[in-house]
């Protein structure tokens, strides 16, 4: 079985497991996903633009989007997931590649928004972006994923999805 077929079967398995997350066993997440409070988090090493990564996450259900972050504890849980998911890789090889999260500034807006429409009630900016800066947020690889930075939404990066349970 080739790597493409294996990837497709793995993704199909994730899609089939997601309905079990809604209403049945609140302590269970799909294989490879991590539970934190009211959500399951999955890391996807495939590099996509922010918009394509958001569309990919939405395939897991109505309550699935790129990850929103509402506390330091939630950010630590995501950082731990990323550290364990990437432990076999040399993530410093290409510099700060970053990992997409759901924070973005829509075209023509000065406000940052989460892709799941939740309130922006927590931030962990490395440097607060200026009004003309790039409009999508990523976790900084070189900061152990504990801070974020703005980058061009068209850049391709791995990403973290969040699915409500």
The tens digit of pLDDT for each residue in 77-128 reads 999 999 988 765 554 445 558 999 999 998 888 889 999 999 999 999 987 7
Q: What pLDDT does 27 receive?
A: 55
Structural domains of the chain in order of their starting residue, each with its CATH number: 3-164 (3.10.100.10)
Question: In Å, what is the CA distance from 88 to each residue of 14, 19, 35, 84, 92?
Answer: 22, 30, 22, 8, 12
What is the average pLDDT score of the chain? 81
What residues contact 135, with CB distance under 8 A and at least 6 apart? 104, 105, 106, 107, 150, 152, 153
Global pTM reads 0.78
What is the per-residue pLDDT across 5-31, written as a single tens digit (0 to 9) for each?
433 434 434 443 444 434 445 456 888
pLDDT at 37 over 50: yes
């Amino acid at each position: 079985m080739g790597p493409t077929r294996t990837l497709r079967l793995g993704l199909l398995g994730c899609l089939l497991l997601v309905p079990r997350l809604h209403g049945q066993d609140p302590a269970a997440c799909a294989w490879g996903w991590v539970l934190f409070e009211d959500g399951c988090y999955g890391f996807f090493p495939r590099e996509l633009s922010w918009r394509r990564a958001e569309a990919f996450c939405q395939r897991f259900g109505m309550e699935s989007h790129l990850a929103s972050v509402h506390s330091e504890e939630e950010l630590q849980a995501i950082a731990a997931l990323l550290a364990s998911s990437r432990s076999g890789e040399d993530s410093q090889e290409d510099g700060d590649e970053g990992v997409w999260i759901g924070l973005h500034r829509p075209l023509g807006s000065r406000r940052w928004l989460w892709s799941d429409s939740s309130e922006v009630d927590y931030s962990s900016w490395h440097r607060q972006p200026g009004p003309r800066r790039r409009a999508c947020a990523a976790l900084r690889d070189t900061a152990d994923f504990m801070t974020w930075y703005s980058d061009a939404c068209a850049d391709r990066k791995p990403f973290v999805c969040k699915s409500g349970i």
